[in-house]
Amino acid sequence: MNNFLSLHYFIPEFILLLNVFCLFFSSEIKQRHLIKIRQILLIVSVVTFAALNLIRWFDHPCGLFYNSFVHDPFLNMFSIILLCVFLIFELPELWKYWSSGYTNDLLQKLIILTASILLLEANSTIGLLLCIGLIYIGNSIIMNRFSHLNTDNRQITVDLTIQILLFGLLFFGFSIVYGFTGSLYFHTAQLPAAALLESPLNFCFLTLFLILGLGLFGIILPFRTLHEDHHQTYHVKYYGSSYFLPFIALFGSLIRILNGIFPMIRNYGAVPGEYMVFVIGLSICLIAGANFYYFKKKTINDLFVISLIIHYGLIISGLAVFTKEALTVSIYLIISTTIILSGIILLQKSDKISTQSKLIKTVFYLGLIGMPGTPGFTGRFLLLRALYNGGVPLRLIVLIIISILPIIYFYTVEIISLHRIKTVHPGIKILPVPAFLAFFTILMVIYWEPFIQLITKSLVFFN
Amino acid sequence: MGNHLLLTILGLPVLGTFILILIKEEKSSVLKTISAVVTGLQLWIVIQLISNFDKSAGYLQFVEHFSWINLLNIDFVIGLNGINLLFLVLSTVIFFATVFISWQLGNRQKSFFVLMMLLNSGITGLFIAFDLFLFLMFYGITLFSMFLLITLFTSKSENINNGYFGIYALISFCLITIGILVINNQSPLSGFNLSTLTRNPEALMNIQTGGFFIFLIGFLLIAPVVPFHTWLVPAAGNSIASVSILLLALFSKISIFGILHIVIPLFPQSSIQFALIFGILGLVSILYFAFCVFSFPQYRKIVIYFTGFLNAFIYLGLSALLSIKHQNLDASLTGLNGAVIQSISAGLLIVIMVILPKIRRTAQDRTPASGSNRWAVMFMMLMVLLAGIGLPGFLNFIGQFLCLSGAFHMLSTRIFSVIALLGLILVGVQFFKIIRSTIQATNEFDFTTDLSEMSNEVIIVAVILIALLLLGIFPETVLQMIDRSVYSLIEYITVI
């Protein structure tokens, strides 16, 4: 349905928005009972949001609100993923909020969570650009508000410039879409198949702007958030949710847009060779570039940054064939990468290393290496299989494999140095969230098939 | 457990790894005891497997088949034929021996035993896996745990040298992955199940040459074979003795297992067509390694090159596949039987060769307390060296003889067998020099090596030596075990 009656599908997002407004307008409230009500409202909202998404996920309902926002199982899945990522990083904040009612830190992140979910719902160019704008603004506030030691305006200027640049790229990309199709709505903005077949370069040109516009955020931001300078000034894990939430949402949105505007891929199940080579080339360049960057700067934070970029490059390569199998694996890989890197970031601040954290770190590092028995191996193997079965030539597959070899070597070296550090036993507490994440990565391998099936079932778009 | 022997033998080291991870580093005796119990139980299961193994059957036995990932047609299939069984015996014996050899290991005992148990899981799984995806998983675990063992347990600080092994292993893993992807793409309905794939040989007809070379190079990269051997000396030369044993005696056999288990059954046409490559690789390696053994005065290096020398005979034995072209199945059977026996005997022989300097030290110990046993130990040492030369009566002789004999049947490889004898002479001369140096107690050879972690070496050497001798005198015991499986393999290739 595509009218006012479909509004009830969007109740979970309204609940989150309600909380954002509630937190914003009630930040000056001092009365204890009102603070308590606000706290209960937030907890109930989060639980309701998760429950509604879970229930509707398996019912497979689809709704479109006047062409602007879409609700389908694809959104349900990503909403749950985003909520989980939010909870991974913000559990301490939520606890602080529950015990003291302190709200300032939480508000910005809740805005980013809501904006990320709305971004995944956006079915029109205007809605999408608005959501991205909201994310960028929220992100800039967080980055500059809390890097309190950095008092000059240079950093603010650089961050804003980057985000405006990305915004410009996207704007240009969507102008091209509009020029081709005459529609601002993704489900009707279908590029004419004949035109695409005649000139596959249109594919490449358009994809370049979309991938760069939506993807550069995931590539550039780690340098701003996880880089050493920031790491020294503020706890790196603080930035986790403000980075990972948009990173995942932008990728989900990219899938939705491409699925909408490239009907030829969906309907005919074939992609032009030029487009395929272009996307694979883009991802190889990204991976190779990240590896070269690490050759120059060899700090552990740089390694985390390049791992993010390299995995993003791998994930993008799934778009080259755009088959259901490839998209499923790309999503599996983005989930596993997020979990592993979140775990590493949460562990990163410990100066001393205990036996437990050494073990957990080893599990995460093995995952990034792609050791058999970890989601890293499963994801990469399935992705390569999907690409090969989707028609990507073997030489390109070999190039992808070669491009990821350096990161395997880098992390192997890290594991060796990790095991040469002497462990400390007393005074180190067990970290429950990283331990749970390490356990979850193992679960992702053991229950690999149900995971993949769940993602495959969720790849249902509003048509 | 009786019905699930293979699952148990695979599950034990996996479980052992997790248990060892949970134990504190300070409790070294617990770590060692658990490792000994796990490997001991594995050895007991292997004995059960041998006694229950039907030698007259060429088919898979003790099969465990579960549907694993239906979505991708991936099954959990493990089983045993005669060839796999012998490799499994080799791995179990070596792991059991290594635990006792490493009893006095000083630093990082926990890391060593955890990694060794992980390697045990990988290699055990590798030797019994009959699904390509499962094989790939265990292959990756094996390569990675071996790399960590080499790097973490080096006796020198020159870790950069171990990078060679890492790079070779990485490329090998990538090539095998690519090969498996190609096979799956060609025959998607068969999935990854090796038995199903071999039942539909037509599906892989288009990729016979390409697939053969991808897998062959993938496996050769981790084999001590010229020209892929450059990782061998840095990796084995700098590691502690226990790691050297695992690397030289066991890990170096994975490539030949891969060729017998995957390359020949999946790419039979190319295996016959390019069988001469095996012969050339074997001959070049025999001559190169024999010359190295002859030229170096350091015992450690001699053992490393001697590993390559022994392995080279296996490839010479594989060249007997060429005779299938001329319907000479007996020659192929001889060559392949020789290759399998040489793999096992070389593995066992290398274990005792690595331990030899410690035996020598015991033999030269002139304290009154050890005086009574000195001559017994000296005799044992001489026997080890004679077994190394290939003295008739030892299993090593049978292996080498069958390999040479298999290659000798074909006119094109006959000359290889003759030239290979030159290598045997070179090695023989060097070994006689070592024997002379030992008897005369001269310093002609440098036996210096770090053996501080070694213990129980005399018992281990004695047991392995007796086993090699008994099997050498009664080779039928081993031959009967593998004969049917090797014959089935040759029959299959011939039909294709």
Using one digit for the tens of pLDDT, what is the confidence trace for A326-355? Answer: 889 999 999 999 899 888 888 766 556 677
Helices (H) then strands (E): counts for chain B: 21, 2
pLDDT given at position A240: 72
Lowest-confidence segment of A290-299, A345-354, B444-453 by average pLDDT: B444-453
pLDDT given at position B453: 56
Stated as kind and residue range, the H or E segment containing B298 is none
Of B69, B167, B178, Cβ closest to residue A449: B69
pLDDT given at position B397: 87
Using a CB–CB cutoff of 8 Å, tell me whether A382 touches chain B.
Answer: yes
Cα–Cα separations (whole angstroms), residue A122 to A18, A23, A24, A257? 19, 24, 24, 9
Using a CB–CB cutoff of 8 Å, tell me whether A348 touches chain B.
Answer: no
Q: Which residue of B has its CA nearest to A384?
A: B181
Report helix, strand or coil for B453.
Answer: coil
Please name the amino acid found at residue B10: L
pLDDT given at position A234: 45
Mean pLDDT of A182-192: 70
Cα–Cα separations (whole angstroms), residue B22 to A116, A340, A355, A365, A437? 40, 22, 10, 19, 18
Q: How many other C-beta atoms can be found within 10 angstroms of the C-beta atom of residue A310?
A: 25
Q: CA of A119 to nearest chain B CA: how many angstroms apart?
A: 31
pLDDT given at position A305: 79
pLDDT given at position B461: 82
Using a CB–CB cutoff of 8 Å, tell me whether A445 touches chain B.
Answer: no
Top residue of B69, B75, B177, B180 to mutate, by most chain A CBs within 10 Å, is B177
Please name the amino acid found at residue B276: L
Report the C-alpha gap between B240 and B248 in whole angstroms.
12
Q: Which distant-in-sequence residues (6+ apart) come within 8 Å of B386 by Cβ?
A: B394, B431, B435
Please name the amino acid found at residue A22: C
Top residue of A381, A399, A418, A451 to mutate, by most chain B CBs within 10 Å, is A381
**Which DSSP string do the residues of B105-161 spell out, in sequence order?**
--S-HHHHHHHHHHHHHHHHHHHHB-BHHHHHHHHHHHHHHHHHHHHHTBSSS-GGG
Q: How many other C-beta atoms can be found within 10 angstroms of the C-beta atom of residue B70?
A: 11
Please name the amino acid found at residue A208: L
Q: Which residue of A has its CA nearest to B71?
A: A449
Lowest-confidence segment of A68-72, B88-92, B305-309 by average pLDDT: A68-72
Q: Which distant-in-sequence residues (6+ apart) come within 8 Å of B290 by Cβ?
A: B309, B422, B423, B424, B426, B427
pLDDT given at position A156: 65
Please name the amino acid found at residue A4: F
pLDDT given at position A427: 47
Report helix, strand or coil for B240.
Answer: coil
Q: Which distant-in-sequence residues (6+ apart) come within 8 Å of A357 by Cβ?
A: A347, A350, A428, A431, A434
Which class for A301: exposed (0-12), middle (13-18), buried (19 or more C-beta within 10 A)?
buried
Report the C-alpha gap between A155 and A157 in whole angstroms.
5
Top residue of B72, B175, B184, B206 to mutate, by most chain A CBs within 10 Å, is B72
Cα–Cα separations (whole angstroms), residue B129 to B79, B122, B125, B257? 7, 10, 6, 12
pLDDT tens digit string along A236-286?
A: 556 677 778 888 888 888 888 887 777 655 555 566 677 788 888 888 988
Phi, psi of A37 (to 5 degrees): -60, -45
pLDDT given at position A230: 45
pLDDT band at residue B373, thresholds of 50, 70 and 90? Answer: low
pLDDT given at position B116: 92
Mean pLDDT of A142-162: 65
- List CB contacts (< 8 A) between A409 and chain B: 166-167, 170
Report the C-alpha gap between A44 and A56 in whole angstroms.
18
Please name which of B151, B319, B311, B101 lies closest in space to residue A420, comparing C-alpha atoms: B151
**Given an 8 Å threshold on Cβ–Cβ distance, is B72 in contact with A382?**
yes
Lowest-confidence segment of A95-109, A134-148, A417-431 by average pLDDT: A417-431
Stated as kind and residue range, the H or E segment containing B86 is helix B82-101
Mean pLDDT of A283-310: 82
pLDDT given at position B126: 92
Mean pLDDT of B357-365: 65
Q: Which residue of A has its CA nearest to B164?
A: A409
Q: Which distant-in-sequence residues (6+ apart) come within 8 Å of B475 by Cβ?
A: B341, B395, B398
Interface of B with A in 214-253 (CB under 8 A): none
Note the ipTM here: 0.76
**Given an 8 Å threshold on Cβ–Cβ distance, is A377 in contact with B140?**
yes
Range of A198-207, B29-38, B378-387 with top mean pLDDT: B29-38
Examine residue A272 and say whether the peptide bond preceding it is cis (omega within 30 degrees of 0). no
Q: Cβ distance A431 to A360 under 8 Å?
A: yes
pLDDT tens digit string along B127-160?
A: 999 999 999 999 999 998 898 888 888 765 555 5
pLDDT for A463 beyond 70: no
pLDDT tens digit string along B244-288?
A: 889 998 998 999 999 999 999 888 888 888 888 998 999 999 999
pLDDT tens digit string along B18-66?
A: 898 888 877 888 888 999 999 999 999 999 999 988 888 777 888 888 8
pLDDT given at position A37: 80
pLDDT band at residue B379, thresholds of 50, 70 and 90? Answer: confident
In chain A, domain spans? 271-463
pLDDT given at position A231: 43
pLDDT given at position A23: 76
Mean confidence (pLDDT) of chain A: 78
Residue with tokens 């001590």: B224
Residue with tokens 């995942």: A248
- List CB contacts (< 8 A) between B138 and chain A: 372
Of A369, A377, A416, Cβ closest to residue B151: A416
Q: Which residue of A has its CA nearest to B134?
A: A372
Q: How many other C-beta atoms can be found within 10 angstroms of the C-beta atom of residue B490?
A: 23
Mean pLDDT of B122-127: 93
Spacing of C-alpha B314 from chain mean position: 11
Per DSSP bridges, beta strands A69-71 and A63-65 are: antiparallel
Please name the amino acid found at residue A156: I
pLDDT for B1 beyond 50: no
Report helix, strand or coil for B452.
Answer: coil
Instruction: Give chain B's largest Cα–Cα span.
Output: 71
- List CB contacts (< 8 A) between A416 and chain B: 148, 151-152, 159
Q: Cβ distance B470 to B258 under 8 Å?
A: no
pLDDT tens digit string along A46-95?
A: 888 888 888 887 776 677 777 778 888 888 899 999 999 888 888 777 77
Between these two residues, A274 and B223, which has the higher pLDDT value?
B223
